Amino acid sequence: MRTQVAIVGAGPAGLLLGHLLRSEGIDCVVVERQTGDYVLSRIRAGVLEQVTVGLMERLGLDARMKAEGLPHDGFNLTDGGRLIRIDIAALTGKQVMVYGQTEITRDLMEAAPERGLEVIYEAADVALHDVESDAPFITYSRDGAQHRIDARIIAGCDGFHGPSRQAIPASVGRAFERVYPFGWLGVLADVPPCNHELIYANHERGFALASMRSPTRSRYYIDVPLTEKIEDWSDERVWDELAIRLGPDAAAHITRGPSIEKSIAPLRSFVFEPMRHGSLLLCGDSAHIVPPTGAKGLNLAASDVHYASEALVRFFKANDVDAIPGYPDKALARVWKSERFSWSLTKLMHRFPEDGPFERRMQVAELDYIASSEAARTAIAENYVGLPV
């Protein structure tokens, strides 16, 4: 098979890119290792920046998001007794949209056939070849047969563990990484949220987040040491811990119920440079990871795809040979700013095992400053709603 862009991975990055290219009449094929059902079973964050909402609008795939998503005007930080509201609507004139990443993926997946976007699921042993040349190709096996897709460009949208980043020789790439000494234990439950807006809490027992998917479905997190086993966390134990860490006001409004999903995810900051090598572009988690504090993962994948699709349109439709080489710098400038914000919100809201009383006083002082300064709240708000692309 021959196409213009071979896309590896049908997560949000790969599907969004595929749709944007198809909407411009550019040929592409998406190759995914898992089944569609498996891709939809992964539960991830659910706060969308304007750039992500805007891409869904541009594709005309925003109807369900507009009907079921929850626009939020603000969110809250709490530290013991006080609740600091970050009024993002008043401070930035913008909103964020609470809508699960799973739902975005489903909307993109379901629209693929009618938009002429071919997605090949259950492709095993996907390998990238000749990425340094102008005629790269991918190979995979499916149903016992070997397949080959020849392309002009390969887009690596295959997440942190996929083969695309590995196809860039170690001599030309550089990875920057910070691993955190805790993970987030998340629970999803069909109970009403304890608050109409998100609450990020820094308690002496650790971090907690009250989030939601809908008026009847809640998503909560606590941070736990990486040595913890999920089997040791009964639902009751998680609810008890949430009630303590979120504080008495929120606790009074927590509705408990059986978890429908419960898992522990490690936290990591990671950036791989450059995000292009020859005819290979990296988008989304294949090139970078953020800790979930601030919910930037999906939104960064969306901004990468925005820059990548722009570059590919200029390349294929206007023969602009500078477009592809220009992609990494544009994407990385925004990636590093989101990395900084996610890292700083993580530092502010978690108790690190290596921190002592001095670091704790720094957190208190920073929260005092945020509570008292509109300039400080504006800086947080403009990062939370998403920096411009």
Residue 189 binds to ligand PHB (criterion: CB under 6 A): no
The type of residue at 134 is: D
| Span from 22-30, 45-53, 149-157, 319-327 in contact with ligand PHB (CB under 6 A) | 45-53
Neighbours of 191 (CB within 10 A): 18
Q: Which does 292 bind (CB under 5 to 8 A by kind): ligand APR, ligand PHB, none?
A: ligand PHB
CB of 159 to ligand APR, least distance (A): 3
254's tokens:
């927590």
Please report the sign of the dihedral spanned by the C-alpha atoms of residue 135, residue 141, residue 142, residue 146: positive
301 interacts with, out of ligand APR, ligand PHB, none, CB within 5 to 8 A per kind? ligand APR
Q: Which one of ligand PHB, ligand APR, none is in contact with 163 (Cβ closer than 5 to 8 A by kind)? A: ligand APR
Torsion of CA 20, 21, 23, 26, to 10 degrees: 180
Establish if 11 lies at the interface with ligand PHB (CB under 6 A).
Answer: no
Q: From the candidates 99, 140, 180, 200, give the one annotated as an active-site residue.
A: 200
Is 292 an annotated catalytic residue? yes
Tell me the one-letter amino acid at 231: E
Q: In this complex, which beta carbon is closest to ligand APR, that of residue 11 or of residue 136?
A: 11
- The reply to whether 169 belongs to the active site is no
CA 131, 136, 141, 146 torsion-angle sign: negative
How far, in Å, CA of 269 to CA of 227, rounded? Answer: 19
Active site residue 306: no
Q: Does 288 contact ligand PHB by CB under 6 A? A: no
Q: Contact between 74 and ligand PHB (CB under 6 A)?
A: no
| Per-residue CA distances from 37 to 42, 105, 126, 159, 365 (Å) | 9, 11, 19, 17, 46
Alpha carbon separation from 368 to 16, 83, 344, 350 (Å, rounded): 40, 11, 16, 16
Active-site choice (292, 327, 328, 350):
292
Q: Which is nearer to ligand PHB, 197 or 273 (CB)?
A: 197
- Which of 183, 292, 328, 386 forms a contact with ligand PHB (CB under 6 A)? 292
Catalytic residue among 288, 296, 330, 350: 296
Query: Which residue's CB is nearer to ligand PHB, number 209 or number 302?
Result: 209
Contacts of 218 (CB under 8 A, 6+ apart): 188, 189, 191, 192, 193, 194, 210, 211, 212, 255
What does residue 276 show for φ and ψ, rounded to 5 degrees? -145, 145
Of the residues 99, 140, 180, 384, only one is catalytic, namely 384
Which 202-231 positions form the footprint of ligand PHB (CB under 6 A)? Answer: 209, 211, 219
Active site residues: 72, 200, 292, 296, 384
